[in-house]
């Protein structure tokens, strides 16, 4: 059983997609062993508690230095015995010490077709605002392994989503979630649970 830690900052819709996929047996041989958020008000923590999954808030605001926060986060991941770390709408920059420890065992979902609309500053609605501003006809989502760069790790899965006439950033965001993110992330976890972890 692949022990999976899910890191989130907000509502946790991607977390919910993972939990639902486990219930439907679409994710085999994997379980969510802990959910960690930097935000005490993240609804994702409530979603975890309802499922009886340990839900931790580790906020940078609770620590004197960024380094102490990073150490606390790493400690929580180690304590959970996580073999896979999933960034599912996690708005905290993951430090190199954690990336190194989970090299090839940490994945992120990004709401665009990388290499479009990715990198520093591209997260949440900003990605969709930029896609609409540029007039692209197709966007989507990408699951990739996390490395020391921002959205630069090896790509695991991608799925395209049509941009429609009259889309607002919010409408496009929702479509990308429903048609790509909520499908890709569970699929990626299942793939990793079924075979050896890590990019080739």
Residue-wise pLDDT for 120-168, tens only, equals: 889 889 999 999 999 999 999 999 999 998 899 999 999 999 999 999 9
**pLDDT bucket at 200, cuts 50 / 70 / 90:** very low
Least confident of 36-40, 50-54, 91-95: 91-95
pLDDT of 63 over the 80 cut: yes
The span from the first CA to the last CA of the chain, in angstroms, equals 21
pLDDT of 47 over the 70 cut: yes
pLDDT of 52 over the 70 cut: yes
pLDDT at position 180 is 98
Alpha-carbon span 72 to 41, nearest angstrom? 19
pLDDT of 197 over the 60 cut: no
The structure tokens listed for 100 are 């190194």
Phi, psi (degrees; rounded to nearest 5) at 19: -60, -40
- The CATH superfamily assigned to 2-109+143-153+181-194 is Formyl transferase, N-terminal domain (3.40.50.170)
pLDDT of 75 over the 90 cut: yes
pLDDT of 18 over the 90 cut: yes
Alpha-carbon span 58 to 9, nearest angstrom? 10
Put the strands of the sheet holding 155-162 in their side by side order: 55-57, 30-37, 2-8, 84-87, 106-110, 138-145, 155-162
pLDDT of 90 over the 80 cut: yes
In percent, the amount of the chain with pLDDT more than 70 equals 98
Please state, rounded to an integer, the average pLDDT across all residues of the chain: 94
Three-state secondary-structure class, residue 125 = helix
pLDDT at position 196 is 53
Which residues have a Cβ under 8 Å from the Cβ of 179 and sit 6 or more positions away? 159, 161
Q: Which of 155, 164, 146 is nearest to 108 (CA)?
A: 146
Domain ranges of the chain: 2-109+143-153+181-194
**pLDDT bucket at 102, cuts 50 / 70 / 90:** very high
- Burial (CB count <10 Å: 0-12, 13-18, 19+), residue 200: exposed
The structure tokens listed for 108 are 């992120």
pLDDT of 25 over the 80 cut: yes
pLDDT of 182 over the 90 cut: yes
- Residues classed as catalytic: 110
pLDDT of 45 over the 90 cut: yes
**pTM, entire model:** 0.93
């Amino acid at each position: 059983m692949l022990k999976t830690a899910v890191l989130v900052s907000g509502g946790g819709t991607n977390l919910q997609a993972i939990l639902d996929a486990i219930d439907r047996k679409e994710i085999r041989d994997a379980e969510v062993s802990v959910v960690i958020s930097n935000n005490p008000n993240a609804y994702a923590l409530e979603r975890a508690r309802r499922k009886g999954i340990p839900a931790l808030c580790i906020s940078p605001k609770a620590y004197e230095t960024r380094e102490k926060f990073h150490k606390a986060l790493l400690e929580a991941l180690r304590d959970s015995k996580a073999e896979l770390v999933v960034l599912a709408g996690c708005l905290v920059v993951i430090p190199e010490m954690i990336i190194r420890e989970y090299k090839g065992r940490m994945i992120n979902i990004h709401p665009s077709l990388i290499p479009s609309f990715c990198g520093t500053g591209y997260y949440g609605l900003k990605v969709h605002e930029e896609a609409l501003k540029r007039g692209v006809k197709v966007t989507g989502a990408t699951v990739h392994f996390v490395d020391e760069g921002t959205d630069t790790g090896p790509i695991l899965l991608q799925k395209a989503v049509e941009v429609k006439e009259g889309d607002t950033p919010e409408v496009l965001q929702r479509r990308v979630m429903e048609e790509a993110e909520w499908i890709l992330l569970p699929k990626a976890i299942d793939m990793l649970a079924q075979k050896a972890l890590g990019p080739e």
